[in-house]
């Protein structure tokens, strides 16, 4: 292991090729962490994320991963350790959002979403619990819609409620390890995932739900992840609602 490995903190960001995940990867890279960008299938977007981190003077590497598959996730962690020397921060930004009324919701769609949002978070957290070094952080992604209880969001909100439970319990299970575990719960944020299929009227209405009367940006969310990954060592076992005061 080189001296540079010994002095560099290393972050894994799943879902790091697009949206909030990409912004988090870029922010952590700017904070001085070496970043491993975990992505599902979009090679081009992953390469663009790596290039964006490197353009700001950071170091990054992209690894294709299926977050719900333990063998694939183990390979992701192995690659991070081999390339950069270890793992200090794990950010679970990979997620799927499928909307529809509960009574008519397709159960195959429910299972697909559950596989990524719940099983994926569980598998990544399991490896993180075993490998993150002292002084590290695990950051999962929840959602503010759990409190809003918006129609058509039941299946998605339920999957993120499970993420809350995993996060709070894991924080206690890592007692004595000097590793923090938190969940970030964004409100409506201007990403492709959120905007897809929504009319301008719906987007405008949701932007007005918070007192700041705007959608969040990926940068707003990345700021909070940066805090949790760095100086925010006294924040542990929490669900942080990052939504401009919406709820």
Do 110 and 99 form a contact (C-beta atoms < 8 A)?
no
Strand duo 34-39 + 60-64: pairing? parallel
Would the pLDDT of 241 be above 70? yes
Buried b (16+ CB within 10 A) or exposed e, 206-241: bbebbeeeebbebebbbebbbbbbeebeeebebbbb
Encoding tokens for residue 61?
């590497």
**Distance between CA atoms of 80 and 93, rounded to whole angstroms?**
17
**Distance between CA atoms of 186 and 204, rounded to whole angstroms?**
17
The catalytic residue positions are 156
Handedness of CA 145, 147, 148, 154 (dihedral sign): positive
Local structure of 64: helix, strand or coil:
strand
Encoding tokens for residue 227?
């805090």
Please identify, in words, the CATH class of the domain defined by 3-242: alpha beta
The alpha helices in 9-153, defined as continuous H runs, are: 19-30, 43-55, 70-84, 107-114, 121-131, 145-148
pLDDT single digits (tens) 35-47:
999 999 999 999 9
pLDDT single digits (tens) 88-104:
999 999 999 999 999 99
For residue 1, the model assigns a pLDDT of 44
First to last CA, the chain: 47
For residue 107, the model assigns a pLDDT of 98
Closest Cα partner for 137 from 242, 17, 240? Answer: 240
For residue 3, the model assigns a pLDDT of 41
pLDDT single digits (tens) 48-87:
999 999 999 999 999 999 999 999 999 999 999 999 999 9
Annotated domain spans of the chain: 3-242
The mean of the pLDDT values for the chain is 95
Handedness of CA 225, 228, 231, 235 (dihedral sign): positive
| Dihedral Cα 161, 165, 171, 172, nearest 10 deg | 160
């Amino acid at each position: 292991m080189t001296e540079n490995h010994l002095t560099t903190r290393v972050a894994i960001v799943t879902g790091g090729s697009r949206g909030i995940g990409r912004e988090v990867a870029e922010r952590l890279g700017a904070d001085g962490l070496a970043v491993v960008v975990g992505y599902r299938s979009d090679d081009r977007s992953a390469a663009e994320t790596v290039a964006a981190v490197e353009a700001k003077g950071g170091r990054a590497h992209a690894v294709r991963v299926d977050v719900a598959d333990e063998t694939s996730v183990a390979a992701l962690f192995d690659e991070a350790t081999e390339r950069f020397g270890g793992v200090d921060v794990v950010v679970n930004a990979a997620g799927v959002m499928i909307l529809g009324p509960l009574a008519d919701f397709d159960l195959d769609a429910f299972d697909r979403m559950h596989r990524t949002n719940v099983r994926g978070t569980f598998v990544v957290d399991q490896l993180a619990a075993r490998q993150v070094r002292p002084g590290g952080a695990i950051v999962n992604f929840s959602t503010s819609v759990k409190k809003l209880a918006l129609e058509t969001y039941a299946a998605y909100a339920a999957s993120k409620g499970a993420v809350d439970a995993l996060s709070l319990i894991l924080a206690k299970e890592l007692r004595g390890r000097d590793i923090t575990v938190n969940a970030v719960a964004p409100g409506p944020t201007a990403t492709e995932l959120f905007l897809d299929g929504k009319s301008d009227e719906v987007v405008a209405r949701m932007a007005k739900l918070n007192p700041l009367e705007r959608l969040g940006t990926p940068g707003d969310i990345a700021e909070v992840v940066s805090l949790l990954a760095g100086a925010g060592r006294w924040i542990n076992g929490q669900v942080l609602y990052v939504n401009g005061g919406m709820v």
